[in-house]
Chains A and B, each alone.
Chain A
Amino acid sequence: MTEQRKKILESVKEIRKRIPVKLKPKVALITEEHYTLPYNVSVLGKIDFADIPPAFEKNGATTGKLYFGRAGNRDILILKGRFHYYEGVSMRDIAHPVYVLKYLGIEKILAIDEVAHLNPRFEQGELTLIYDHINLMGNNPLIGENDEELGIRFPDMSNAYDKKLYGKIYKVFQDNKVKINESVYLGIIGPESETEAEARFYRDIGADALGYSLAPEDITAVHARIKFAAIGLITRELSADKMLEDKRSEEEKIKESVSNRKFAQGELNKILVQIIKSL
């Protein structure tokens, strides 16, 4: 057995010990640690990442938690907190929790990331549904030895964001009359913000929104044959033309992006349980 799979099974064993027996989750949610869950998601138990050996604990950069819960009539697992490449976490360690979800019986993942919008038709504070990505992180979790038990050597990416899940989420947005922006997501490493020239470059290659988290999670999910859907909270605007005239201080920019995030999160939380139920 590969070292990678040993680590995965070790984490799974620890989580299985603590998971409430009656829960049989098939759906998982991945969010940032600071994401506030909606009131109608009931949390039935949680484990600190630090208590899950081996790969969860060694990343001091993240102090997230794994939640067991129910959303409507659905059992769910929630990874509240994720590993970022810009924190110095390796791609294989970023992939680890996704494989662990697979071994816990998860078939579908909904990931929520904070994004900057490159498409001028989007607005800050809105939400975006992601249908495809471009990976410009200069690395990915599949480079290296391939464990055939986890997935095939050359995974096909033509349905990297599952079309059926996409359609179901889209319908929930429509039914609730919430505006949805459709995006090609660009994965870059960050953490520095983008230059004006980069903003033009990213728009020219066909990206609508960018972020630092989703690409490796999606590639891992495809490898592990988990259906993947993703929603972006639009926290800031990246318009090359407007950047030149932007007179805001760094503090103002951060403050604004936090308030955009909170607004977008509030909008999403109104329908999040409906979305989870629809998957």
Chain B
Amino acid sequence: MKTQYKTAFDYIRSKTREKCEVGIILGTGLGGLVKHITKSCSIDYKDIPNFPVSTVESHTGTLIFGKLSGRNIVAMQGRFHYYEGYSHDRIVFPVHILKLLGVKYIIVSNACGAINPKLRKTDLVIMSSHINLHFSSPLISSAGMNGGHGPGGISKSTSAKKAQYFYDKDLIELAEQTALENKIDIKKGTYASVQGPNLETKAEYSMLKVLAADVVGMSTIPEVLTAKELGIKTFGLSIVTDEGFPDTLKVAELKHILESAAIAEPNMVLLIKKLVSKL
């Protein structure tokens, strides 16, 4: 075990002995799930040794332990993005900690823009695949040029390297079944992750359509790659918060993105609660 993980893990263990089965990573504007967790302990990222600290206003940085649908879970309220200047190694630091905490399943969520014209604001989209446009990966072993933004050392031999399915097929099926039972409208698609922080140009949205992406965001893929490497089963859920249709592109504002996330949140919360109870 890398010492930096161990120091962080030991600190968390000094605060709580809770065993966790499920890890939940909450994206932009989706922190509302927290209200449904019966909290036993919460720890600020800034208090955990070696833990990165979120710099984005809409993300608070707290690790929350407790029960959701009767299961022991740990939720990350606030995540780390490539555009903040973190290397992929830093972005996925918490995923390594989740593994040490005993997590077997990870549910990742994010806010995204629609590329597929069938999708609309506030739609829920199950991530079935992804396109990594970060020009980097957490599986590159050592940080390279540009402070980690660039090609680096030799790649590790990992399960993720050989993986065909990053998004667990059984979990997807279970989620679809759960959505049907609870009359939640749900879509499925490919998530493309770009570096950001600037939003995409019309030409870039058109390109993403040619590449067959259904939605686009700026996060999640590094965490998913690492979860796979560590043998954690992953389920990804995107909430469409803006529409990236080149012909009718409007100025995107963070305020509207958060509004859309708020509208979609009840369904997301319901789906995750029901899904967790079935794991």
A: which residues have CB within 8 A of B?
90, 132-135, 138-140, 142-146, 153-160, 184, 204-207, 219, 222-223
Binds A, one of B72-80, B90-98, B180-188, B195-203: B195-203
Given contacts A138-B135, A143-B197, A204-B210, 10 further A-B contacts (CB under 8 A): A139-B195, A143-B84, A143-B195, A154-B252, A156-B253, A158-B201, A205-B211, A206-B206, A206-B210, A223-B198
How many residue pairs link A and B with beta carbons under 8 A? The number is 87
Contacts A132-B203, A138-B135, A139-B146 given; does A156 touch B197 at CB 8 Å: no
Decide if the interface of chain A is mainly helix, strand, loop or mixed. Answer: loop
Name the B residues within 8 Å of A135 (CB-CB). 201, 204
Contacts A144-B85, A145-B85, A158-B250 given; does A134 touch B198 at CB 8 Å: no
Name the A residues within 8 Å of B149 (CB-CB). 139, 143
Q: Does B45 contact A (CB under 8 A)?
A: no
Q: Does B40 contact A (CB under 8 A)?
A: no
Decide if the interface of chain B is mainly helix, strand, loop or mixed. Answer: loop
Of A143, A157, A223, which is within 8 A of B201 by CB? Answer: A157
Name the A residues within 8 Å of B204 (CB-CB). 133-135, 157
The smallest beta-carbon distance between B78 and chain A, in angstroms, is: 15
Contacts A90-B146, A132-B202 given; does A142 touch B207 at CB 8 Å: no
Interchain CB contact under 8 A, B207 and A134: yes
Name the B residues within 8 Å of A145 (CB-CB). 55, 84-85
Would you give 28 A-B contacts (Cβ < 8 Å), ordered by A? A133-B201, A134-B201, A134-B204, A134-B207, A135-B201, A139-B149, A142-B196, A143-B84, A143-B196, A144-B83, A144-B84, A145-B85, A153-B57, A154-B199, A154-B254, A155-B198, A156-B252, A156-B253, A157-B198, A158-B199, A158-B202, A159-B251, A160-B201, A205-B207, A205-B210, A206-B207, A206-B210, A222-B198
Q: Does B249 contact A (CB under 8 A)?
A: yes
Name the A residues within 8 Å of B203 (CB-CB). 132-134, 184, 206-207
